[in-house]
């Protein structure tokens, strides 16, 4: 499974994990949304969340790809990269930041790494 279908399946799997945040950035704003559980693909856009409620629209084009990251001072995340390599959105797995001992969950971080690190390898990233 590659391309758009792979990305949609990975986003569905990521949002099914408890305690995630979807983060979308632009030059002048950052939006962080908690509790988005549904993924609804349409012809051009994919909607994360519910219409009429909190949601994010993503345009997944040919050439977009996934990248798993786990920085030393941040939460593990599954990132959707645009055609130019820019981060379109990030699904952040809360509780996986090793720099925050009070909330860090080593087992959760390891499970996330196993599950989503492999997903991005399948996508060729």
Domain that holds residue 66: 3-122
pLDDT number for residue 125? 40
The rounded distance, in Å, linking the Cα atoms of 54 and 37 is 11
DSSP state of 119: H
Percent of the chain with pLDDT over 70: 93
Longest CA pairwise span in the chain (Å): 43
Q: Region 72-77: what's the mean pLDDT?
A: 95
* CATH number where 94 lies: 3.40.1570.20
Q: 63: which 2 tokens?
A: 């050439």
What is the domain count for the chain? 1
Q: Region 15-30: what's the mean pLDDT?
A: 94
Percent of the chain with pLDDT over 90: 82
Residue 5: strand, helix, or coil: helix
pLDDT number for residue 2? 57
The rounded distance, in Å, linking the Cα atoms of 103 and 23 is 19
The rounded distance, in Å, linking the Cα atoms of 24 and 32 is 7
**Beta partners for residue 92, in sequence order:** 21, 77
pLDDT number for residue 58? 94
pLDDT number for residue 26? 86
Q: What is the pTM of this model?
A: 0.88
Q: Would you say residue 115 has pLDDT above 90? A: yes
């Amino acid at each position: 499974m590659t391309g758009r279908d792979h990305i949609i399946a990975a986003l569905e799997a990521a949002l099914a994990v408890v305690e995630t945040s979807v983060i979308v950035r632009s030059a002048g704003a950052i939006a962080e949304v908690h509790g988005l559980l549904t993924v609804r693909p349409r012809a051009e856009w994919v909607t994360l969340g519910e219409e009429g409620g909190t949601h994010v629209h993503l345009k997944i084009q040919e050439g977009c790809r996934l990248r798993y990251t786990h920085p030393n001072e941040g939460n593990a995340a599954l990132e959707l990269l645009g055609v130019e390599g820019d981060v379109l959105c990030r699904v952040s797995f809360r509780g996986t930041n090793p720099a925050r001992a009070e909330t860090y969950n080593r087992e959760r971080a390891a499970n996330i790494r196993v599950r989503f690190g492999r997903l991005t390898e399948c996508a060729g990233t």
